[in-house]
């Protein structure tokens, strides 16, 4: 539907200015032009000349905006997080037909949710997710969304800190990359998780999260996407080698009942636990408005192109890792497929020296991918927290204080996460469903009430998609909460032995 909007009539001209702050500035009332919903007489609004004010903290002229390609890369990197490591197991349990079909459905619904949020921006004139919700859904809804953004993004940042420590310093039963590369004792200084995570936080994460605009992450997003591509390329190489050696495993098309354990109740619980892995694979709604602000020239059509292109790129990466890992390693893949990419496992396919190269490349690439996604989660967290605290975005010393104190808090929690893991997961399951599913659908339904009834066919399209998104969000929330409570005692037991129980536990928060 958004493809029907002409770029010449679409929120473009004033965004060419370099010094505006558009996060919460409203657009002008509707003027003549085509409708965002199709045949309606409602016209797409155009931006007024906004007051010139500094959005970046360093220079008012340092942000010329992002091109279409850069926006696609940033959005793709936002979507492709640590959750990719859990996809192969999900595909084995549900089979290609069910898991692949559900993944494609989620890709489509995620793209539609981005279109609905863009429509909300066109109608309300705001380029901020909470502000769009405030105008269309009310102040209480906006408050709930801001709380959800703060807790969900904070949880993700804590998870990324835990994963960073796991990759570099390891955890019981899995030595870290630093000890492996140096050939040092796995129980020595190189296994110090606090030191490993602290060094990365100070040297890399802190500089990345300092700027306000995501356009500043263009280079690191390219690097992060390249790092994921290395992982995908190694997976493809293993598939080719396994096929050449005659040891390739067949792809599972239907659910593998032998992959489930226990009676019917336990099997049902395990199936429920797999659903959020796929349902949250494309989550990016908390970041999309930051990308919209930087996309110049801006139009609904161009945002739709960015969203569709990112969905295609991510789907190709997801399917390659999920199916390629199954072909190379078989059906006994754990929840975290990265545990299979170790020198011992890879030596079955290639020479030991090359297996070590593959192992280091995949682990370093995964670490780089996690670190470069940090600013994508910090931006909505910081903006929402600022609006909750003072009712506006921060700048100057308060901005830096909130940024770096939050980073320090995330670091501290990550190093002591075992004792609070169940409440963290519960917040993630509920807040994630609200952000990615419920609120975009609510925005679309509220936007329909402002349209001319003449666009009946288009309204049906938007309304049924909204209902579908609400259904998916409900399923994801129920599945996530059910998994949290049913597995809570097991996680608490693990935390008694080790407060940082590894990437496998951390990945469970993402869903």
Whether residue 418 has pLDDT greater than 70: no
Structure tokens at 90: 């999900």
- CA nearest to 286, candidates 167, 113, 479: 113
Looking at residue 448, its pLDDT comes to: 85
What is the spatial distance between Cα 407 and Cα 311, in angstroms, rounded to a whole number?
A: 30
**Measured CA distances, 250 to 231, 314, 331, 499 (Å):** 21, 23, 9, 38
Looking at residue 286, its pLDDT comes to: 93
Looking at residue 308, its pLDDT comes to: 96
Q: 25-47, pLDDT tens digit by residue?
A: 444 444 444 444 433 333 333 33
Q: 243-296, pLDDT tens digit by residue?
A: 999 999 999 888 877 666 666 766 776 777 788 888 888 999 999 999 999 988
Mean per-residue pLDDT, 286-310: 92
Looking at residue 265, its pLDDT comes to: 67
Mean per-residue pLDDT, 223-236: 94
Domain boundaries, the chain: 2-17+67-426+480-509
CB atoms near residue 335 (< 10 Å): 18
Structure tokens at 157: 């940042």
Whether residue 303 has pLDDT greater than 70: yes
By the 10 Å C-beta count (0-12 exposed, 13-18 middle, 19+ buried), 462 is classed as buried
What is the spatial distance between Cα 428 and Cα 79, in angstroms, rounded to a whole number?
A: 16
Report for 112-116, 120-124, 451-455: range of highest mean pLDDT? 112-116
By the 10 Å C-beta count (0-12 exposed, 13-18 middle, 19+ buried), 64 is classed as exposed
Q: 246 in helix, strand or coil?
A: coil
Whether residue 453 has pLDDT greater than 60: no
Q: 165-195, pLDDT tens digit by residue?
A: 988 988 766 778 888 888 767 677 888 889 9
- CA nearest to 142, candidates 158, 151, 129: 129
Looking at residue 316, its pLDDT comes to: 96
Whether residue 436 has pLDDT greater than 50: yes
The verdict on whether omega for the bond into residue 297 sits within 30 degrees of 0, i.e. cis, is yes
Whether residue 128 has pLDDT greater than 60: yes
Which of these ranges, 186-200, 296-310, 349-363, 474-488, has the smallest mean pLDDT? 474-488
Asked if 331 and 323 count as a contact pair (C-beta separation under 8 A), the reply is no
pLDDT above 70 coverage of the chain, percent: 76
CATH of domain 2-17+67-426+480-509: 1.20.1740
- CA nearest to 25, candidates 2, 5, 52, 1: 52
- CA nearest to 95, candidates 272, 252, 229, 236: 252
420 secondary structure, DSSP code: G
By the 10 Å C-beta count (0-12 exposed, 13-18 middle, 19+ buried), 305 is classed as middle
Whether residue 5 has pLDDT greater than 50: no
Looking at residue 391, its pLDDT comes to: 86
Looking at residue 17, its pLDDT comes to: 38
Looking at residue 173, its pLDDT comes to: 66
- CA nearest to 372, candidates 226, 509, 217, 233: 217
Structure tokens at 204: 């890399």
Q: 76-117, pLDDT tens digit by residue?
A: 999 998 888 889 988 988 899 999 999 999 999 999 999 999
Q: 431 in helix, strand or coil?
A: helix
Looking at residue 314, its pLDDT comes to: 96
Looking at residue 444, its pLDDT comes to: 93
Looking at residue 432, its pLDDT comes to: 87
- CA nearest to 129, candidates 144, 145, 115: 145
Q: 453 in helix, strand or coil?
A: coil
What is the spatial distance between Cα 147 and Cα 153, in angstroms, rounded to a whole number?
A: 10
Q: 52-63, pLDDT tens digit by residue?
A: 223 333 333 345
SS3 content of the chain, % helix, strand, coil (to 5): 70, 0, 25
**Measured CA distances, 13 to 18, 245, 295, 364, 432 (Å):** 11, 59, 12, 42, 34
Rounded to the nearest integer, the mean pLDDT of the chain is 80
CB atoms near residue 7 (< 10 Å): 13
What is the spatial distance between Cα 244 and Cα 238, in angstroms, rounded to a whole number?
A: 10
DSSP 273-338: HHHHHHHTTT--HHHHHHHHHHBSS--HHHHHHHHHHHHHHHHHHHHHHHHHHHHHH-S---SSGG
Looking at residue 324, its pLDDT comes to: 94
Whether residue 131 has pLDDT greater than 50: yes
Q: Which residue has the higher pLDDT, 5 or 445?
A: 445
What is the spatial distance between Cα 355 and Cα 347, in angstroms, rounded to a whole number?
A: 5
By the 10 Å C-beta count (0-12 exposed, 13-18 middle, 19+ buried), 73 is classed as buried
Structure tokens at 348: 């079955």
Q: Which residue has the higher pLDDT, 346 or 491?
A: 346
Looking at residue 178, its pLDDT comes to: 87
What is the spatial distance between Cα 223 and Cα 212, in angstroms, rounded to a whole number?
A: 20
Confidence of residue 134 (pLDDT cuts 50, 70, 90): very high
């Amino acid at each position: 539907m958004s493809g029907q909007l002409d770029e010449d009539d679409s929120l473009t001209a004033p965004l060419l200015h370099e010094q505006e702050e558009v996060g919460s500035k409203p657009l002008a009332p509707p003027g003549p032009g085509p409708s965002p919903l199709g045949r309606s007489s409602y016209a797409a609004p155009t931006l007024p000349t906004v007051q010139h004010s500094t959005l970046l903290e360093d220079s008012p002229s340092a942000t010329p905006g992002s091109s279409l390609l850069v926006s696609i890369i940033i959005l793709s990197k936002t979507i492709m997080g640590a959750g990719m490591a859990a996809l192969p197991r999900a595909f084995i349990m549900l089979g290609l037909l069910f898991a692949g079909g559900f993944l494609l459905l989620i890709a489509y619904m995620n793209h539609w949710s981005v279109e609905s949020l863009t429509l909300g921006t066109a109608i309300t004139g705001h380029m901020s997710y909470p502000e769009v919700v405030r105008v269309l859904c009310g102040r209480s809804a906006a408050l709930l969304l801001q709380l959800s953004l703060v807790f969900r993004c904070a949880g993700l940042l804590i998870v990324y800190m835990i994963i960073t420590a796991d990759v570099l310093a390891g955890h019981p039963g899995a030595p870290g990359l630093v000890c492996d590369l140096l050939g040092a004792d796995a129980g020595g200084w190189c296994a110090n998780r606090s030191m490993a995570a602290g060094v990365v936080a100070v040297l890399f994460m802190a500089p990345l999260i300092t700027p306000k605009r995501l356009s500043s992450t263009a280079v690191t997003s390219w690097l992060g996407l390249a790092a994921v591509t290395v992982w995908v390329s190694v997976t493809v190489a293993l598939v080719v080698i396994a096929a050449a050696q005659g040891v390739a495993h067949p792809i599972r098309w239907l659910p593998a009942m032998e992959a489930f354990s226990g009676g019917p109740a336990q099997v049902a619980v395990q199936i429920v636990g797999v659903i959020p892995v796929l349902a949250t694979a494309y989550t990016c709604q908390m970041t999309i408005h930051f990308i919209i602000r930087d996309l110049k020239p801006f139009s609904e059509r161009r945002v739709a192109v960015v969203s569709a292109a990112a969905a295609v790129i991510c789907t190709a990466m997801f399917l390659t890792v999920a199916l390629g890992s199954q072909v190379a390693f078989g059906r006994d893949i754990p929840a975290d497929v990265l545990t299979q990419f170790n020198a011992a496992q890879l030596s079955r396919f290639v020479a030991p020296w090359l297996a070590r190269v593959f192992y280091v490349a995949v682990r370093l690439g995964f670490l780089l991918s996690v670190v470069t996604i940090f600013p994508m989660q910090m931006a909505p967290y910081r903006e929402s927290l600022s609006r909750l605290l003072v009712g506006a975005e921060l700048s100057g010393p308060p901005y830096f204080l909130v940024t770096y104190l939050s980073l320090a808090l995330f670091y501290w929690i990550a190093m002591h996460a075992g004792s609070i893991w169940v409440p963290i997961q519960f917040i993630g399951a509920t807040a994630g469903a609200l952000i990615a599913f419920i609120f975009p659908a609510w925005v679309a339904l509220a936007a329909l009430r402002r349209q001319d009834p003449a666009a009946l066919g288009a309204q049906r399209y938007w309304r049924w998609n909204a209902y579908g998104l609400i259904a998916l969000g409900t399923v994801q929330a129920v599945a996530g909460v059910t998994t949290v409570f049913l597995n809570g005692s097991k996680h608490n037991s693990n935390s008694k032995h080790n407060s940082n129980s590894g990437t496998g536990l951390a990945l469970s928060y993402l869903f």
